[in-house]
Chains A and B, each alone.
Chain A
Amino acid sequence: NAGVMQNPRHLVRRRGQEARLRCSPMKGHSHVYWYRQLPEEGLKFMVYLQKENIIDESGMPKERFSAEFPKEGPSILRIQQVVRGDSAAYFCASSPEGVSTDTQYFGPGTRLTVL
C-alpha cells in the first residue's frame, strides 16, 4: 500500500520561473494538505483541498501561489515567478476523511531551490 507520493523530490528553478509540485495521496485518501518548511523552521500550513475543491487556503501567500486537486490525477502546488524566498521544503499530507480525528500521513517532501 503506497504512501503519499511527491515529485519531484528536488527542484531547482531560477528566479522568475514557475515551479510545479505534485502530490498523490495515499490510496483511499481524498483530503490533501500542503505545508511549507522554511530553513530552520517548523512546518506551516498552506492549503487544504478535497477533490476539485479548495477548502481552506488561509495559509497561502496571496500572490503567485495556487493549488488544485483535480478529479483525476495528483494535487498540484504551483508557484509562479519564483523568488529566492520561496526556497523551502514543501510537504504534502493526506488523510481519509478530513475531520479532526484524522491522522495525516506525509510524503517525502519536495525541496525547492531558487537560484
Chain B
Amino acid sequence: AQKVTQAQTEISVVEKEDVTLDCVYETRDTTYYLFWYKQPPSGELVFLIRRNSFDEQNEISGRYSWNFQKSTSSFNFTITASQVVDSAVYFCALSTQETSGSRLTFGEGTQLTVNP
C-alpha cells in the first residue's frame, strides 16, 4: 500500500521568508514517482514537479526547490523569498508501478499563508 504524509496542516509566514513544506511517503515499490501540486484559492490544481525514484538530484526552479532523500523517504519543497501569491494549499502525491495507470495517492495537503 502507498501512503503520503504531510504533517504540517498549516504554515503561516511573512513575505520574503523562506518556507519548507514536508512530505514523507511510504511504498514497497522500488520504482515510483513523486509529485507536488499547488491549489490556489481559486481551487484548480496546478502541477509543479515530478520526480522519479531513480533520480535523487535536487531540483531548483526559480524560487522553488525540491529535496528528494530516499534514505528518509522524504520529498520536501522549499519556497525561497515567499510572496503573497504563494498562498495556497500544496499537495504532495505518489504514483507507483503497483497501482493502475498513473493513479495518485495524495497527502492531506499543507495550507500555506504568506502575509504581507
Contact = CB atoms under 8 A, between A and B. Distances in A.
A100 B32 CA distance: 7
A39 to B, nearest CB: 12
A103 B91 contact: no
Interface in A6-64: 31, 33, 35, 41-45, 48, 55-56
Contacts of B105: 45
Interface string A78-115: 00000000000101010100111111111111010000
B2 to A, nearest CB: 10
Contact of B102 (A42, A99, A109): A99
B88 to A, nearest CB: 14
B104 A45 contact: yes
A68 B51 CA distance: 31
Contacts of A45: 103-105
Interface stretch (B64-72, B74-82, B106-114): B106-114
Nearest to A43: B106
Interface in B31-85: 31-33, 35, 37, 43-47, 50, 52
Chain A contact residues: helix, strand, loop or mixed: strand
A115 B105 CA distance: 30
B35 A91 contact: no
A106 to B, nearest CB: 4
Contact of A44 (B32, B46, B97, B106): B106
A101 B106 contact: no
Contacts of B87: none
Contact of A100 (B44, B93, B102, B106): B102
Contacts of B52: 101
Given A89-B43, A106-B37, A108-B44, A98 B101 contact: yes
30 contacts: A31-B102, A33-B101, A33-B103, A41-B108, A42-B109, A43-B91, A43-B93, A44-B106, A45-B103, A45-B104, A55-B101, A56-B99, A56-B103, A89-B43, A91-B45, A93-B45, A100-B33, A100-B96, A100-B101, A101-B33, A101-B52, A102-B101, A103-B35, A103-B47, A103-B50, A104-B104, A105-B47, A106-B46, A106-B47, A108-B44
